[in-house]
Each structure stands twice: as structure tokens, then as C-alpha cells.
A and B are shown apart, each in its own frame.
Chain A
């Protein structure tokens, strides 16, 4: 176990703790809690046994496990950015509608 792995494991521990708190505060329902816990545990497993990524890599024909992890990471990031982008656009539209309606209502009253 090197320093890097230990630091990541500590962060994962923090993540698990946060997840548990969210469950307690009812921010997460049990389904989400399960999903997040599974995610953290999977991450922990990969950190403790990095060779596992190599097995996956060989299966799908990519050279190294690290590369697979990076590719997946990038794909997830793309997906998340797209979601953020769409949400921002929706918020923009809602804000615009609100401001316009407020303006017209105020003008009507005069």
C-alpha cells in the first residue's frame, strides 16, 4: 500500500460518511444510499486491488487498467457536463419567463 492509495481510501471513507449522513437526514432515500455506498466500495476495491482494472482492460482489448479507468472517467465527465449544460439552459429559460411575466404584470398595474 503506497501513500496515494491511503489518501484515496481516506477520501472514500469521507464519502461513505457523507453518504450515511445524507441517509440519516433523509436527503437520500435507501435506493440512492445503496447506489452511492456500492460506488464507494467499488472504488475502494479498485484502489486496494488495482490489478483488477487490468483484467477488465484485457477483456475489452485496452492495454492498461489505468487507461480504462481514465476512459470511463472522461465519458462520465462528458455526460455530467452535458447534464449541467442542459440544466443551466432550462434555468435560464425559466428565469427569463419569470422576469418577463413580472415586468408585464407590473406594467399592467400602472
Chain B
């Protein structure tokens, strides 16, 4: 089975080089990096590596970058598509877990940091952002996941073809589980370790995500 790694990249010059190197070292040769109109040296870093480069002329958001990358992966013949962050928060060693689950027949595999025994999460993030996020996710999608907002996921071909990622910014993490439920795809979770170099999404971004989800409900 051909595994394609899709990395949405926006101003990740600090970490992208190492991320790509680690992936290549582990033998993942099908890497698609979507440069979402970064303003730093991200483009230069991408150019240095044997990866498939895609560029958004205007910054659209992580969801849009994933959508573009996923579509290209499908066109390239991918059987497994892994969404992997470009900021070093995800461990490439965990990818094998995802591949394993897809091979046993699951359509979608979601990473969960809460399932990981060693996971250290900043206290404020855990209780004020992540736990409410799990509720928001359930409210908008009807799905019960232990980790609401994990960008680490894998889709098989069927899932990638059926799931429509229309949320351009960060609400994809709620939209994709919602699509999984809507399209009646099979899913499971695997434990992953998230490395916090930086805080990531804060409360305000959380509010923005809720707003994006509500807007979509009203206007569609």
C-alpha cells in the first residue's frame, strides 16, 4: 500500500527541515508539502528536499492546505493518506500505528494524545481548551473521540475520496470527523505523542473555530 504524507505548512521554518528529514529517514518517500503562502523561509526549506511541492498563492488556512494535499495524493495513487503537522508536534514513528489500522480495514484513523500514557499537556490547554473542544466536536459532528482537535490522522482512499474538507481554516478537525459520520466510514483512534514546542491553538482560535462551524451551518 502506498502511503502519502500530507504536510500543511505555514511559516514553519523553525521545524520543517527536521520534520522532513525524520520522515525521509524512516523511509517515507511520498511526501507532499503544501506551502500555504508562508512569509518566512518555509519555501526555501521545502525546495531543498525531494518532496512534492504545492503552493497556495494566497494563505487559505490549514484545512485548505490539507484539502489540496489530499487531492493531489489521491491523484498520485495514494492508498493511505496521512495528515502530518509541519511544526514538529507529531512523531513520525507514530505513523506506523496509523498504517497498521488502515491495513486492518479501517477507513479513518484519528490520533489521540489522551490515549497516550506519557503525554504531557499544558494544564490550561487541557481543561480550558481541549475538553470543551471535545464537546464542541461532539455537538457539531455527533462523533465521540477522546481527542477533539488532533491534526494527526490517516485516511484510506475511500475515505479521502468521500470526505469533503470545505473548512479552510482550523475547523477541519471537527469537519472531518463529522464527514466520517455522515459518510458512514469506519474509524478508530490510536495513541500519539504531541510535542509542545509552542502552545498551538489558544482559546481565541477556539472561538474562531466555533464561529466558522456555525457560519457553515447557517449559510449552507
Contact = CB atoms under 8 A, between A and B. Distances in A.
Nearest to B32: A107
Given A89-B215, A104-B71, A108-B75, A99 B60 contact: yes
A100 to B, nearest CB: 5
Interface residues of B, number: 19
Interface footprint category on A:
10 to 19
Secondary structure dominating the interface of B: mixed
Contacts of A108: 72, 75
Contact of B60 (A86, A100, A110): A100
Interface in A85-110: 86, 89, 92-93, 95-96, 99-100, 102-104, 106-108, 110
Given A100-B68, A104-B54, A108-B72, 4 more contacts: A95-B60, A96-B60, A107-B54, A108-B75
23 contacts: A89-B219, A95-B58, A95-B60, A96-B64, A99-B64, A100-B56, A100-B60, A100-B64, A100-B68, A100-B71, A102-B57, A103-B54, A103-B55, A103-B68, A104-B54, A104-B68, A104-B71, A104-B72, A106-B55, A107-B52, A107-B72, A108-B72, A110-B53
Interface of B: 34, 52-58, 60, 64, 67-68, 71-72, 75, 166, 168, 215, 219
